[in-house]
Amino acid sequence: MKNIQFFDTTLRDGEQTPGVNFNTKEKVQIAKQLEKWGIDTIEAGFPIASVGDFEAVKAIAENAEKMTVAGLARCQKADIDRAHEALQNAKHPQIHVFLATSPIHMEFKLKMTPDEVIASIKEHVSYAKTKFDKVQFSPEDATRTDKQFLLKAVQTAIDAGATIINVPDTVGYSNPTEYGGLFKFLIENIQSDEEIIFSSHCHDDLGMATANALAAIENGACRVEGTINGIGERAGNTALEEVALALYIRKDFYEAQSNITLNETKRTSDLVSRLSGVAVPRNKAIIGANAYAHESGIHQDGVLKNPDTYEIITPSLVGVNENSLPLGKLSGRHAFATKMDTLGYQLTEDELKVAFKRFKSLADKKKQVTEDDLIALMVGQSQECSEDYRLERVQLQYVSDGSQGAIVSINTGEDESKTESAIGSGSIQAIYNSIDKIFVQKPELQEYYIKAITGGEDAQAEVHVTLADTENNKQFNGIGIDFDVLQASAKAYVKASEQFQKEVGKA
């Protein structure tokens, strides 16, 4: 069986999802989980894009143990130098250089002739090779590029030192037959004394990202690029968890394997969903809430007699397990620390002290604290520690005309607290109106979504909100986790408002 490498770009391409903005601490946390999941290479960011991106790439490079850490760079020496600076402490560094090759991109975006594009590829891939052993080149918008020119661009990059060639379907234009054929054409026609790794990178604009990635593998690709949960700009990217399970379940067909630890899939998905604020649809393949639910009587009867009748993937395969060691209010610090370690959290003494205090508070309200509760607790702690604004108090009161009143206090940094009150037709609206008055803002609430983290009346609430700045067509996601629904709703709105303030300012 051939081995398929997994290249994750959740922290780069995935962060281009409207409203998604990971901070450095969250990126490192996701990176550690991706390494545990089995990712071979992580695209940690675009170092020259911002100071924040540079710091995140640098931090991930210093924390990654096994996986290769890649930085994105345009065909510009300043980009390559900045990526080299960010990755200088990585155990396994790689640079990913790209330049568009399609006629529409060359004419309208680059304003370069085909000859100028070829010259730039040669110059900058050669320059990147002087600083990195692993150089990847991507001809952006490859699927709308003339095949002969694409071959020339790819051959130029290989001759200049690139050993990894990514073939991006940048706008989700291709289909499996066409995309697979493109890989076959390139692999048959390139010339190199070194082994060249060909990689797929697909977008889901026509709903074929996963199918296209698998078609590429059928036709010689040994690497697949994508994101967790398929997040990304527009309709998103190839969902890596879908490719991983397809290769495993249909290994008879693909005759391929990967380094992915499948039972870490659900945990990885949940972490990205909670930190990004992008909820996973219930009918999402592999990791959606309905993926293993059977409502049809015929289906239920079949599954009870033999799960293989309607289940090709068992819940345990992807990490949907019953909690084997629930904790309660009598559990001690050692049991808590051991459990957190098994969940993949290496906490400092100070972090453990704060986490254990939050756990005991939660355990006083719940009979049993599940793994999902603990993961949510850590996500909430991570977010609250990184916030500039912190929710201090929410007070509700009934108003005689049937409205609800709310008083909200928020710490705005340096121990400065602001309090405002407002009314609304319901409790949530009253809370959100109060927060808007504190921030002096007028965003549009586009989405409010609430779910229980676990079953039962004592479940924690997880609230997702999306705010929009209609003038600039920008979105801002926030997530709040708390035992109390109203508290979780307020936390989510404060989180989204913090991003709104940073990007838009006061309305």
Which residues contribute to the annotated binding site for Mn(2+)? 13, 201, 203, 237
Q: Which residues are annotated as a binding site?
A: 13, 201, 203, 237
Instruction: Determine whether 355 is exposed, middle or buried from the number of CB atoms within 10 Å of its CB (0-12, 13-18, 19+).
Output: buried
- Dist. CA 189–CA 253, nearest whole Å: 26
Task: Quote the DSSP letter at residue 196.
Answer: -
Residue with tokens 């924690």: 460
CA 139, 143, 147 angle in degrees (round to 5)?
80
Question: Alpha carbon of 66 to those of 47, 222, 435, 454: distances in Å?
Answer: 21, 19, 44, 33
Residue 176, SS3 per DSSP: helix
CA dihedral sign of residues 207, 212, 213, 214 = positive
Residue with tokens 């345009």: 74
User: Within a 13 Å sphere around the CA of 394, how many CA atoms are in the beta-carbon half?
Assistant: 23
CA dihedral sign of residues 350, 351, 356, 359 = positive
| Residue-wise burial string across 294-322, b where 16 or more C-beta atoms lie within 10 A, e elsewhere | beeeeeeebbeeeeeeebebeeebbbbee
DSSP for 41-69 reads EEEEE-TTT-HHHHHHHHHHHHH-SSSEE
- Dist. CA 174–CA 104, nearest whole Å: 16
CA 454, 28, 356 angle in degrees (round to 5)?
50
Task: Quote the DSSP letter at residue 261.
Answer: -
Residue type, 256: A
Task: Quote the DSSP letter at residue 227.
Answer: B
Residues 6+ apart with CB under 8 A from 342: none
- Which residues is 164 bridged to in the sheet? 136, 197
- Residue of 406, 378, 411 whose CA lies nearest to 392: 411
